[in-house]
Structure 1
Amino acid sequence: MGFIPVFILTVLFFVMMFGIGFILNMLMKTTWLPAYLFVLVMMPVVVYSIWDRNAMSLWEHLAGFQTVDYVTGAAGLAGAVLSGWTIQKLRLGGYKMF
């Protein structure tokens, strides 16, 4: 893939996970739940859904991913973590809504 589609995809996943995490944090009054959900639910579901049935082990399957897959996953995780950090700072700043 070219640089521009990868950049757009990375920014899209970052903003999407930040927004979803921010809304979940506001509704559920939790700080780090979106980051935990991303790591414990979202990533394994994605890995399993595109599982290569010919791969013998998990490491062989993970080696089949491209760099863009890892960059996109890292951007999504960064967005989820940053949403938790933002909510935490807003709460420490005295905002009761968050």
Structure 2
Amino acid sequence: MYMSIVVLPISMLLFFVLFFGIGFILNMLLRMSWIMAIIYPVVTILIVDKVSFVEYFTNSKAAFSDLGSRLMNLGSADIFILSSGLAGAIVAGIVIKLLRKKGYRMF
């Protein structure tokens, strides 16, 4: 699928901000600095794959085979967008650690 040059940076920025915000809030509430960076691969699998979660346990071979083929067939724009989401989750962990180090207590 074709993506214009304007849509790609906007999508990357939106994914970065989205996962930074979600990661920041989860880090404040759960007091685990890297929770979103750990959860992000599961979120990515749910975004990319079209197989239901239960099928990974009932029909594992076909589900993981389909997941592998879908991950290998991702376009470069999709990879950039998903990578910016991961970067947002990692930056949220770094910011929380820096804020805690400087003495700010969140909840």
Residue 45 of structure 1, CA deviation: 1.4
Q: 1:94 aligned to 2:103? A: yes
Which residue is 2:79 aligned to?
Answer: 70
Residue 60 of structure 1, CA deviation: 3.6
Q: Give the structure-1-normalised TM-score.
A: 0.84
Please show how residues 2-81 of structure 1 align to structure 2 within 5 Å. Answer: 2-39=4-41, 41-49=42-50, 58-81=67-90
* Structure 1 alignment gaps of length 5 or more: none
Separation in 2, partners of 1:33, 1:57: 27
Percent of aligned pairs with the same amino acid: 39
SS across alignment from 2:90: helix
Separation in 1, partners of 2:104, 2:96: 9
Judge conservation of contact 2:24–2:93 (CA < 8 Å) in 1: yes
Separation in 2, partners of 1:24, 1:59: 29
Residue type at the aligned position of 2:88: G
SS across alignment from 1:70: helix
Residue 57 of structure 1, CA deviation: 5.8
Residue 16 of structure 1, CA deviation: 0.5
Report how many residues are paired. Answer: 94
